[in-house]
Structure 1
Amino acid sequence: MSIFPAHAGGVEIPVGVALAQPVSVLPRGPGLWYEPKYDGLRMIMFRGEEAVDCQARSGRIITPSWPDLAAAGAALDPGTVLDGEAVVWRDGALDFAAAQARRASSPSRALALSRRLPAQYAVFDVLAHPRYGDVRSRPYSERRRMMLELVEPLGHPIRPVPATDDPDVALHWYESLRAISVEGLVIKRASSAYRGDHRIWQKMRHSEPRDLQVVGYTGTPRRPQALVVELPPGGRLALTQRLSPVLASQAAARLREAPAGVPARTPDGVLYTTARGITVESLAGTTRHQVVTVTRVR
């Protein structure tokens, strides 16, 4: 449950997040801006009148897993709503597995993990401004100026994501920042409004993942071992590789929210329990010959 009223800064909770369409070649042209794509977990941060709440891409409230970021967000003016990535840096590079561990933590473990794996909130957009209210209809260039005005004075751990309108600088970022686990680039048009649940941006990644729908699992709901997913095109079924402890914990949390399933078998005869309403991300290329590597649970 959220501790917030139904809206903050004129933006209702939960809010649909803007998405990006994959591209294989860097777009160029007037009015385009480029941002590094950090390897983290999408987060909307709401600063209400009395407290801060954090929302995942799925719409779930995840504040208890990120007490350090929620505490830092108290420095924002009430009525601020930001969009960004919760990331964890380790040895000078982004550590997605550590961010996953933070997300999968129970409230009782969250505070200890926040000391061992401190997070940073990498902000790339603003949805509501304390003086102007809901600003999603305003152009990206204007929203970015507002975001910098709100975020730059704060300092660590809430920091703005860099941006450039120079494609050559962007390509340099794409090539050089891979060493610190920056996934690639996000490309945005200066004149574009923020449209939740629409692919209004573009993204160029070193390894493009795909989202797959889960139809079942092996093991138990509390300890799933692998997932059964639908592969495009045609929706043929495939069994994922064995889940890591972190991914298994995340899948178990989602299975607790899903309706009870029934026994079924894959075309290869593997017994599983049906489940619906869960999406996972897999690495591109790993779905050939029905070999699927899950990288995150949505």
Structure 2
Amino acid sequence: MGENGRRLVPPISPMTARTVDVPPRAPGLAYEAKWDGYRVLLFARPDAPHLQSRRGNDLGPGFPDILRAAAELGEEAVFDGELVVIEEGAVNFAALQSRAQRTGRRAEAAAAAHPAHFIAFDLLQLDDELTMTRPYRERRALLEEIFTRRDLQSPWALCPMTTDPDRASEWLDPAWGAVGVEGMVVKGLGQPYRPGERGWRKLRARATADAVVGAVTGPVTSPDALLLGRYDAEGELLMVAQSAPVTNVLRRELGPLLTPAGPDHPWTDVQFRSGWGTRDILAHRCVVPELVVEFEADVAFDAGRWRHPVQARRIRAELAPEDVPHFPAGPAD
């Protein structure tokens, strides 16, 4: 963590969360909506506004609108939050990703076409006070005071928070994924902010869906992972998800049912990347697209495809490929 006198200096490692499977319920907990965007730290300073990614990179050149808002806030502060682009009532991750790659005039044009929002959920510094040592309840109160005092409007937004676990559980409904809320983050009301520490807890909304096995990694007779597809309205098979390594039980069940495909398979000459945003090419073997599987996934879904690896759960022998929802149906299909 950088510090110049009492002024925080980027880059700073944000406090992070570990994944849990069940929402914790106990006195003294706060629940925040988890948004599907870029985790960022925003340094609101009239002389040197700065937008830092989770990994410490400078995102400012791609988001001049956010830098202007930070410079014009009227007071000096360092915020933790989520950067999103919201269009037609939902987060548009592709537009956000595209904006991050632009600079100069192209960045200004993208800002006009696809305005970004900064969703604030924590406060690391206010004027000359390092607020990180304060408990979360006090940091949240200060954050709310700033929003009220400055009457902050777009591109500023305050992250929803509740101390009611039942209300927070609504954010785990996959329907919220359609608008960009992918779960919740759980914080202790008495917790200080500790940069770099995994001291919070997070849960992602999850849902099940069906798709056709179009290719595999590893041997066809004992696949390691699955490349899953759905047909579009024109009958073209399009990839929608890549699975995590399948269980040994499912691997043994899949092997006898998969048939290596011939050269006429639509994915024969297609290159798939090993992960969203990576450049590594995945080595895959095409199979006859006749087997349907059910998988479990989070709600990070964009342009017809799940961004994160999914968990293949079982073979749907009772379903034919034509029974699977057409591309680009998503988490709520």
The aligned runs of 1:82-101 (5 Å cut-off) are: 82-101=79-98
Runs (5+) with no aligned partner, structure 1: 209-230, 232-239, 253-265, 269-281, 289-298
Alignment of 1:135 onto 2:128? no
How many residues are matched?
Answer: 229
Task: Give the one of 135, 147, 151 matched to 1:151.
Answer: 147
The alignment partner of 1:16 has SS state of: coil
What's 2:233 paired with?
none
What's 2:224 paired with?
none
Task: Give the one of 253, 259, 277 matched to 1:247.
Answer: 277
Q: Given that residues 79 and 123 in structure 2 are in contact (C-alpha distance below 8 angstroms), is that contact kept between their aligned partners in structure 1?
A: yes
The superposition leaves residues 87-143 of structure 1 with CA deviations (integer Å, 9 ceiling, x where unpaired) of 01111111111111111223341111001110000000000011x511111100000
Alignment of 1:70 onto 2:62? no
Please say which structure displays the higher CA radius of gyration: 2
The aligned runs of 1:196-211 (5 Å cut-off) are: 196-207=195-206
**What is the CA distance between 1:286 and its match in structure 2?**
6.3
- Counterpart code for 1:168: D
1 CA distance for matches of 2:283 and 2:90? 41
- Counterpart code for 2:160: P
Q: Cα RMSD (Å) of the superposition?
A: 3.3
- Counterpart code for 1:242: R
The alignment partner of 2:139 has SS state of: helix
1:14–1:7 Cα change, 3 Å: farther
What's 1:221 paired with?
none
Q: Given that residues 7 and 13 in structure 1 are in contact (C-alpha distance below 8 angstroms), is that contact kept between their aligned partners in structure 2?
A: no
The aligned runs of 1:1-298 (5 Å cut-off) are: 7=4, 10-130=7-127, 133-152=129-148, 153-175=151-173, 176-207=175-206, 241-242=272-273, 247=277, 283-285=308-310
Q: Given that residues 8 and 47 in structure 1 are in contact (C-alpha distance below 8 angstroms), is that contact kept between their aligned partners in structure 2?
A: no
**What is the CA distance between 1:179 and its match in structure 2?**
3.0
Q: Percent identity?
A: 34
2 CA distance for matches of 1:64 and 1:197? 25
**What is the CA distance between 1:267 and its match in structure 2?**
10
- Counterpart code for 1:161: C
- Counterpart code for 2:310: G
**What is the CA distance between 1:149 and its match in structure 2?**
1.2
**What is the CA distance between 1:285 and its match in structure 2?**
3.1
1 CA distance for matches of 2:34 and 2:12? 21
- Counterpart code for 2:42: M
Q: Given that residues 61 and 104 in structure 2 are in contact (C-alpha distance below 8 angstroms), is that contact kept between their aligned partners in structure 1?
A: yes
Q: Given that residues 172 and 206 in structure 2 are in contact (C-alpha distance below 8 angstroms), is that contact kept between their aligned partners in structure 1?
A: no
Q: TM-score, normalised by structure 1?
A: 0.68
- Counterpart code for 1:139: P
Q: Given that residues 125 and 132 in structure 2 are in contact (C-alpha distance below 8 angstroms), is that contact kept between their aligned partners in structure 1?
A: yes
1 CA distance for matches of 2:10 and 2:192? 19
1:25–1:111 Cα change, 3 Å: same
1:101–1:8 Cα change, 3 Å: farther
What's 2:250 paired with?
none
The alignment partner of 1:173 has SS state of: helix
2 CA distance for matches of 1:179 and 1:287? 22
